[in-house]
Amino acid sequence: MTAALETSGLGKSYGRGASAVSALGALDLSIPKGIVYGVLGPNGAGKSTLLRLALGLVKPSRGSVRLLGEQTIDARVLRRVGAMIEAPALYPFLTARETMHAFARYSGLNDPAREDAVLARVGLTGAADRKARTYSMGMRQRLALGAALLARPELLILDEPTNGLDPAGIQEMRTLIRELVDQEGVTIILSSHLLDEVQKVCDRVAFINRGQLVSEGKVSELVAGQGSLFIRATPLAKAMAVLGARGRVDGDGIIAAVAEEALPALIRDLVSAGIDVFEARWMTQSLERVFLSTMGGAQ
């Protein structure tokens, strides 16, 4: 099965000679079809450069990129892809409906019913006849997403898709992304800084730092493993004495590295030692923690 996006030794440098800046090193990546794939990394890591290289907006300095199995990235393959890169790219003098008309023409489409359906899907039917320049950031984001969805893409590339969205909008975006993948078989590659959202919506993720791939894998596997227990109790010193080397003080509580099945016995020990336990919370490994520890190691 061909990958949705495949890179081999892909690199991009800006400038020449000693002043050259490497935006992307030699990146080897294979993103399978039919999943939501997250590209994560700090600012300047090379995420947007990777996505622009995939779309042919910038030319690689070295290596190669294959999009939907095609080595030559031209409109023939790009018309199978929907993309929203960085800030929404919109014509300020067009309304949402006119924006759809314009992009439909660029894509060689003539299907006004589809345009209306997409506007409804991104929640802009009521504002369809307002100029894009009057839109809030969240509305612009929705319109750009609608434009990306217009041609029924096989692959959707979304760069920070939840930027400017309110909490309800973020939840709608999450639902929409999962629907597109689970019901319509679309492949989605997204980059985001909201790691909690990425954890909820992505199947696989890649961590990129300074243009290099640091780590890659299934989200479920990355966050699997030993969790930890947060305990808020008094007196703290006495609780630490019970936990020994398993505990460390964290603010007004203690984080204990214990197995989940050992929790009841530990709490019984604390109570029987005369310690008042106000809070005991099991913390699963989050993608954010994985990200921070991975990026910390990569610095």
Query: If 0-12 CB within 10 Å is exposed, 13-18 middle and 19+ buried, where does residue 95 land?
Result: buried
x/- mask, other proteins, residues 140-169, rule CB under 8 A, reads ----x--x---x------------------
Q: Cis (ω within 30 of 0) for the bond into 235?
A: yes
Judged by CB under 8 A, does residue 93 bind other proteins? yes
Answer yes or no: are the C-beta atoms of 243 and 207 closer than 8 Å.
Answer: no
Whole-angstrom distance, CA of residue 146 vs CA of residue 188: 14
83 is a contact residue toward other proteins (CB under 8 A): yes
Residue (158 or 219) nearer to other proteins, CB: 158
Size of the site for other proteins (CB under 8 A): 36
Q: CB count, 10 Å around CB of 206?
A: 22
Helix ranges restricted to H, the chain: 47-54, 75-78, 96-106, 112-121, 137-149, 167-184, 195-201, 219-223, 236-243, 263-272, 287-298
Nearer of residues 25 and 253 to other proteins, judged by Cβ: 25
Site map for other proteins, 29-48, x if CB under 8 A? --------------------
Return the residue matching tokens 């029987």.
Answer: 272
Note whether 102 binds other proteins by CB under 8 A: yes
Nearest partner of 140 among 202, 103, 91, judged by Cα? 91
Based on the shown chain and the rule CB under 8 A, indicate whether residue 196 belongs to the binding site for other proteins. Answer: no
Query: Among residues 83 and 139, whose Cβ is nearest to other proteins?
Result: 83
* 74/250 with CB nearer other proteins: 74
Q: How far is the CB of 240 from other proteins (least distance, A)?
A: 53
The nearest distance, CB 75 to other proteins, in angstroms, is 5
Nearer to other proteins, 187 or 215 (CB): 187
Residue 76 CA from chain centroid, whole number = 27
Q: Which residues bind other proteins (CB under 8 A)?
A: 14, 23, 49, 52, 55-59, 74-75, 78-79, 81-83, 85-87, 89-94, 98, 101-103, 105-108, 144, 147, 151
